[in-house]
Amino acid sequence: MTQISTTNPATEKKIATYDVMTPETAFDKIEKCHAAFRDWRTKTHKERAPYLRKIAAALRDNADDFATLMTEETGKLLRDGQTEVALCAQIFEYTAEHGPDLLADEERKHSGGEKRGLVTYAPIGVIYSIQPWNFPVYQPVRVLAANLMAGNGVILKHASICTGSGLMLRDICLKAGLPEGLFDVVIVDHDTSDAIIEHKHIRGVTMTGSDGGGRHIGQAATKNLKKSVLELGSNDAYLVLEDADIELAVKTSVQGRLYNNGETCVSAKRFVVTDAVYDAFTSAFVEQMKAIRLGDPKDEDTQLGPLSSAEQFDTVSEQVTKSVDGGAEVLCGGSAPDRTGHYYPATVLVNCQPGTPAYDDEIFGPVAAIIRAKDDDDAMRIANDSRYGLGGGIFSKDEDKALRLARDHFDTGMVRINSFGAADPNMPFGGVKDSGFGREHGGFGMKEFVNAKAIYLP
């Protein structure tokens, strides 16, 4: 029987080994999820809400254990893991509070306003959730909470390196009283995953990951006429305009680049800096990046932990090498320390050129690309000169100007002004272009996998 193992990226020691499921075992879980869905769908939204609140409470009760496991599986800072669990509890609570109103039936008029109509948001069935490793509980939860409220069941395929986290989430939900089978985890290979998409009881597919992986999943879903939501990668640009508060921009940009060890789809990755403030920003930014403390992710003093795996370390190292070969200059970092674990230092690249990873691609690690712009207009042009469009940011003392740029010109799904953050339950999350399509959070995710059913009354 094929097995997979999880490994601690800080110590390189094996954590656990799991059997890869046969297609028959995975399909059995889908059948059981469908059976549980058929009962769950009969509950009202208000009847579903208490289950979500109980899961939120159970997450809070198990926060320390869950955060420790995430740190051991992926190398994220322990305190970031604790914050992640708290966010997930908030997502369940937000969904429980607002879901019944957001998904309530809507009365409408038709036939010139002479007749009555009703729009109802009906659940559709089992949703297949394919999730990455960088936020082992948050990524599955933002799908799970929304779809449980909508009345759907969920089957999770988690990244293999955080298999334990996926199973812990399932167990917490069961202990909180969620009906057995309504949410379950499959441990499968890629071929079985593709077969799951084809299964008759899978009604929708949602995936977070790379744009390459998204193309494959999206094509498989479309081939089988299944709706998909894809939240893919990005190389988010943060603009430092001529009137930016440089101290704020530097402090926020360091935070935005290194949050979650730099392994975040909405990390600040490209820093497009206008010529007027380029030298001031770059020197201060490099100084702060040089001072970052690399170390044990369980240590309170650590600011940057290891990358999630040997594979991820090799990928980031290769991207930096290719960027330097293409003309980029390393101002700090750029070479790994001689120590156990998949550690990569805070790194700053300048003179980043089109056609290199630092300019064109997503570097999923603590590597910042600084790109010089002539002026504010040129900075906006460079920011949009990307196949990606997930998030971005603008630093400017003129909030009205920044808002106009964000609203009218920034070609992304999310824009931060003079700030950095990953997600908020009350705001939509998602992107455009090669960063995917569909939205989560802010009530939008609850309506992605429902049947907006029109009922005509006389």
% of the chain at pLDDT higher than 90:
98
Is pLDDT at 1 greater than 90 in this prediction? Answer: no
Is pLDDT at 422 greater than 90 in this prediction? Answer: no
Is pLDDT at 420 greater than 90 in this prediction? Answer: yes
- What is the rounded average pLDDT for all residues in the chain? 97
Q: Give the pLDDT band of residue 363 (cuts 50, 70, 90).
A: very high
Please tell me the predicted confidence (pLDDT) of residue 236. Answer: 97
Please tell me the predicted confidence (pLDDT) of residue 112. Answer: 84
> With respect to CATH, is domain 237-424 assigned 3.60.70.12?
no
Please state the rounded mean pLDDT for residues 174-203: 98
pLDDT in tens, 242-265: 999 999 999 999 999 999 999 999
Please tell me the predicted confidence (pLDDT) of residue 118. Answer: 96
To the query of whether residue 231 is one of the catalytic residues in this protein, the response is yes
Domains of the chain, by residue range, sit at 3-233+434-456, 237-424
Q: Give the pLDDT band of residue 170 (cuts 50, 70, 90).
A: very high
Q: How far apart are CA 433 and CA 185, in angstroms?
A: 30
> With respect to CATH, is domain 3-233+434-456 assigned 3.40.630.40?
no
Is pLDDT at 114 greater than 90 in this prediction? Answer: no
Please tell me the predicted confidence (pLDDT) of residue 320. Answer: 98
Is pLDDT at 219 greater than 90 in this prediction? Answer: yes
Q: What tokens were used for 139?
A: 């990524």
Are β-strands 367-373 and 347-350 bridged in parallel, bridged antiparallel, or unpaired?
parallel
Is pLDDT at 113 greater than 90 in this prediction? Answer: no
Q: Give the pTM.
A: 0.97
Q: Give the pLDDT band of residue 188 (cuts 50, 70, 90).
A: very high
Is pLDDT at 158 greater than 90 in this prediction? Answer: yes
Cβ atoms of residues 205 and 227 within 8 Å: yes
Please tell me the predicted confidence (pLDDT) of residue 367. Answer: 98
pLDDT in tens, 29-65: 999 999 999 999 999 999 999 999 999 999 999 999 9
Catalytic residue, chosen from 173, 265, 332, 352, is 265
Q: Lowest mean pLDDT: which of 111-115, 195-199, 446-450?
A: 111-115
pLDDT in tens, 226-239: 999 999 999 999 99
Is pLDDT at 111 greater than 90 in this prediction? Answer: no
pLDDT in tens, 282-308: 999 999 999 999 999 999 999 999 999
pLDDT in tens, 64-86: 999 999 999 999 999 999 999 99
Please tell me the predicted confidence (pLDDT) of residue 182. Answer: 98
Catalytic residue, chosen from 84, 231, 263, 448, is 231
